[in-house]
Amino acid sequence: MRKVAVLGVGVTKFTGAQEKTGVELFAEAAGDAFLDARMKPKDIQALFIGNVLGDFSEGQGMPQCLAAENIGCFNIPANRYEGACASGSMAIRDAFLLIANGAYDVIMAGGLERAATMGTPLATRTFAMFSDARYEYPAGITFPAVFALLAHLYSDKYKIPVDRLREQMARVSIQACKHGSVNPKAQFFGKYGDLTIDKVLKAFVVASPLGLHDCCPFSDGASSVILVSEDIAKRMTDKPIWITGAGQASSGTLSNQKAYLPRIYAREVASKQAYAMAGIKPDDVDLIELHDCFSIASIIASESLGFFDYGKAGEAWEKGQADIGGKIAICPSGGLKAKGHPIGATGGGQVYEVVKQLRGEAIPANQVPNAKIGMTDTLGGEGGTLVNLILEKGY
Amino acid sequence: MNYPLTFKQYSDALKEDRLMGLKCKVCGSITVPPKMACRNCASFEIEPMAMKGTGKIRTYTSVFVPSEGRETECPYIIAMVELDEGPWIMGNLKGVTPASAGLDVIGKSVKMGHEVFPGDKYSAGEGARPVFTIV
């Protein structure tokens, strides 16, 4: 396999409902990625876009072809990826694999979404489509309800009383908002920096035990990354960021994952692939942008990824071990919780943040000192899709 | 190849308070919800079998923010139940007040009835789901 570098990255600010179309948002992110990579549209050989709900939010199917033409990448192959909230990371992983295996030299990957534009009732309905439409939706499953079920299961399995777990989860949200509130690209930029445990616990309940501040927002936004082969990377930059590991796995209906819950088994399969490919261990990772769609999701993810013992991640957040300066910096951008979660674009947004960290170009307050190895973790559905990427500073 | 137990068959049985699953002729594992392949050994040699419809609650949540079209059902409780035969299934829990439900429901024995989701413009028709009550 050839080495693959991320040469350029771009994201829009992640926001609530807005007026730009998904294709317009993607074009803005792509424009920034072109500038960052010092490349032009004619250099791109294929375009892979994560987009989940364009059909519902804008009445727009097949946005990837419109986007390719929109940004001047005429007639190149353009693929849409749909793996719920992991869609963008699926696109990036496939781009990585196709370059690594010599099919292409330069691919733009990323995503676009206008989830916030739908409003909460329709967004809740369409996000529930990532559960089983036949065997789960009739019971009224929603996305917060999936993680609420896991939170109560976690409480029961590890014998952490719900009130205690809710305080630990509040710490997760407070840390995310601390970082997101100073990130100009974040939906919560300038907001919730003063979040307290009391405010988190007193917010209205979405699906018990998860309250409003345990949940990420619905978001609009886009992301774009340009991946290139080793020879092009060496020609274009003396400061490459390599993708050194990638993994992906799937699972079926939540109930059929019973042997592992509240652990998400697909994550353990995918991360093992990524760690093995990169030849590293969890302890080697300086920072991760992981899939913190809900506060409990961060706790569950960080344990399966090997950063903390099972049942102990909440304590790690309380002790600052999941923050900058701790054992590992988790979501120093603010994560899905505070940066936002425009689902098709989320994976590209995570890669953007990791690349900025490894280059030392993150927001100073959120910069992890001397970051050399970063990772992403993106979950779709109830663990139906799980993608992990490992990136390393090449200089 | 014939699909061993379709959702339509599963849902129609639920409407008569019968919970159907599949038993593997190779390894003996029981698969619910139904699929093409045994959830344990991936064999296609599986045949329909009626479950007892009893089990224990493994986790639950009280839902206060519903999907579009299901506002009048809120609040409601979703429970995941471990059937006496082993598999877990998702359904609703009735007879407990959503606002005051606590972790003490976990481990409680339940029996099964059903309700029918009438469907919406996205759902390709109706679908029955298990509704549990604590015994």
Q: What is the rounded radius of gyration, in angstroms, for the C-alpha atoms of chain A?
A: 19
- Residue B101: list chain A partners with CB under 8 A: 208
Q: How far does CA A219 lie from the centroid of its chain?
A: 13
Q: Which two tokens stand for residue A10?
A: 């771009």
Q: What is the distance between the alpha carbons of residues B92 and B105, in angstroms, rounded to a whole number? A: 13
Interface contact A142-B88, CB threshold 8 A: no
Q: What is the distance between the alpha carbons of residues A284 and A138, in angstroms, rounded to a whole number? A: 44
Interface contact B58-A121, CB threshold 8 A: no
Phi, psi of A250 (to 5 degrees): -130, 160
Q: Which two tokens stand for residue A151?
A: 């939170």
What pLDDT does residue A68 have?
98
- C-alpha triplet A318, A341, A182: angle, nearest 5°: 60
Q: What is the distance between the alpha carbons of residues A230 and A228, in angstroms, rounded to a whole number? A: 7
Q: Is A152 helix (H, G, I), strand (E, B) or coil?
A: helix
Q: What are the beta bridge partners of residue B130?
A: B114
Write out the E strands in A197-271. Answer: 205-207, 210-211, 220-229, 241-250
**Pick from A315, A344, A335, A332: which is nearest to A369 by CA?**
A332
Domains and CATH numbers, chain A: 4-119+218-393 (3.40.47.10)
Residues of chain A falling short of pLDDT 70:
none
**Pick from A70, A60, A61, A68: which is nearest to A24 by CA?**
A70
A354: closest CA of chain B, how far (Å): 33
Interface contact B64-A121, CB threshold 8 A: no
Cβ pair B30, B5 in contact under 8 A: no
Q: What are the beta bridge partners of residue B89?
A: B81
- Contacts with A361 (C-beta within 8 Å, 6 or more apart), sequence order: none
Digits of tens for pLDDT over chain B (135 positions)? 999 999 999 999 999 999 999 999 999 999 999 999 999 999 999 999 999 999 999 999 999 999 999 999 999 999 999 999 999 999 999 999 999 999 999 999 999 999 999 999 999 999 999 999 999
Q: Does A265 touch chain B (CB under 8 A)?
A: no
Phi, psi of B109 (to 5 degrees): -80, 140
What pLDDT does residue A67 have?
98
The catalytic residue among A179, A213, A291, A341 is A341
Q: Nearest Cβ partner of A255 from B33, B101, B122? A: B33
Q: What is the distance between the alpha carbons of residues A140 and B90, in angstroms, rounded to a whole number? A: 10
**Pick from A100, A111, A99, A143: which is nearest to A297 by CA?**
A143
Interface contact A124-B66, CB threshold 8 A: yes
Q: Which two tokens stand for residue B23?
A: 């038993």
Interface contact B67-A156, CB threshold 8 A: no
State whether the Cα torsion A143-A146-A149-A153 is positive or negative: negative
- A299-335 pLDDT, tens digit per residue, is 999 999 999 999 999 999 999 999 999 999 999 999 9
Cβ pair A142, A149 in contact under 8 A: no
| pTM higher than 0.95 | yes
Q: What is the distance between the alpha carbons of residues A261 and A164, in angstroms, rounded to a whole number? A: 20
Q: Does A203 touch chain B (CB under 8 A)?
A: no
Interface contact B67-A121, CB threshold 8 A: yes
Cβ pair A371, A216 in contact under 8 A: no
- Please count the residue pairs, one from chain A and one from chain B, whose beta carbons lie less than 8 angstroms apart: 128
The domains of chain B are located at 7-50, 54-134
Q: What are the beta bridge partners of residue A148?
A: none
Interface test with A, best of B6, B58, B65 (most A CBs within 10 A): B65
B83: closest CA of chain A, how far (Å): 11
B4: closest CA of chain A, how far (Å): 16
A177 catalytic? Reply is: no
Cβ pair A166, A199 in contact under 8 A: no
At which residue do the structure tokens 């224990």 appear? B56
Q: Nearest Cβ partner of A206 from B64, B103, B120? A: B64
